[in-house]
C-alpha cells in the first residue's frame, strides 16, 4: 500500500451541489470550478515549495559531504607527494604487517522516529483521528490484555517476529 506524502485538494473540481434558485447554472458551475482550480493551484504551490526546500536541504548536505571528501583527498595527496621512497626504507615485515581497521563511521539509529518524519507526513498524521479510549475497559478484562491492543497495536509485527524467533530457537534446541 503506497503511503501518500502529499495530496492536492480539492480532488474533484466540478462536483458540487447547486443551491436552489440559481438562474444560471452554467455560470455557477463555472465559478465553483474556477475557485476549485485556484485552490488546487494554491495547494500545488505549497507542495512545490516543500519539495524544493527538501531538494535544497539534500543538495546542501551533499555539498557538505563532497567538500569534506575533497579536503581529505587534498590532505592525502599532500602527504603522498611529501613521501620520498628513497629516504624511507621499509622492511618486508613492516609491509606485510596489518593493523586492524577501525571505521570512524557512525551508524544511524532510530531512523523512523517522530522528529525525522517529513513535514507533509507529519501534517497527515496530525489530522488523523485518535483511537477510541478502549483502555478504560482494560480493568474489566479477565485475560489481562489491554483493550486498545485489539484496536491498534504498533508492536504487533515485532511481537510476531519475536515469537517466531523464540520458537525457532526452541525447535533447534530440541533437535540437539
Whole-number Å distance between alpha carbons of 60 and 46: 21
Claim to verify: residue 18 and residue 73 sit in the same structural domain: yes
Note the pLDDT of residue 32: 93
Note the pLDDT of residue 88: 65
Q: Could you say which of 62, 85, 108 is where a domain stops? A: 85
Residue 172 maps to a domain: yes
Residue 120 maps to a domain: no
Residues (pLDDT < 50) of the chain are none
Note the pLDDT of residue 90: 66
Residue 105 maps to a domain: no
Residue 69 maps to a domain: yes
Residue 111 maps to a domain: no
Note the pLDDT of residue 36: 95
Range of the structural domain that residue 166 is part of: 129-176
User: What total number of domains does the chain contain?
Assistant: 2
Amino acid at each position: 500500500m503506497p503511503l501518500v506524502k502529499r495530496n492536492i485538494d480539492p480532488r474533484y473540481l466540478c462536483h458540487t451541489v447547486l443551491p436552489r434558485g440559481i438562474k444560471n447554472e452554467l455560470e455557477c458551475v463555472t465559478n465553483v470550478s474556477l475557485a476549485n482550480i485556484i485552490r488546487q493551484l494554491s495547494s500545488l504551490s505549497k507542495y512545490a515549495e516543500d519539495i524544493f526546500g527538501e531538494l535544497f536541504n539534500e543538495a546542501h548536505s551533499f555539498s557538505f559531504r563532497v567538500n569534506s571528501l575533497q579536503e581529505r583527498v587534498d590532505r592525502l595527496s599532500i602527504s603522498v607527494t611529501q613521501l620520498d621512497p628513497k629516504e624511507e626504507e621499509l622492511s618486508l615485515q613492516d609491509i606485510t604487517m596489518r593493523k586492524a581497521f577501525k571505521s570512524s563511521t557512525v551508524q544511524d539509529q532510530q531512523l523512523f522516529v517522530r522528529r525525522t518524519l517529513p513535514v507533509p507526513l507529519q501534517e497527515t498524521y496530525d489530522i488523523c483521528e485518535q483511537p477510541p479510549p478502549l483502555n478504560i475497559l482494560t480493568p474489566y478484562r479477565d485475560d489481562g490484555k489491554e483493550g486498545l491492543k485489539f484496536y491498534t497495536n504498533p508492536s504487533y509485527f515485532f511481537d510476531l517476529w519475536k515469537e517466531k524467533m523464540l520458537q525457532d530457537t526452541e525447535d533447534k534446541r530440541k533437535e540437539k
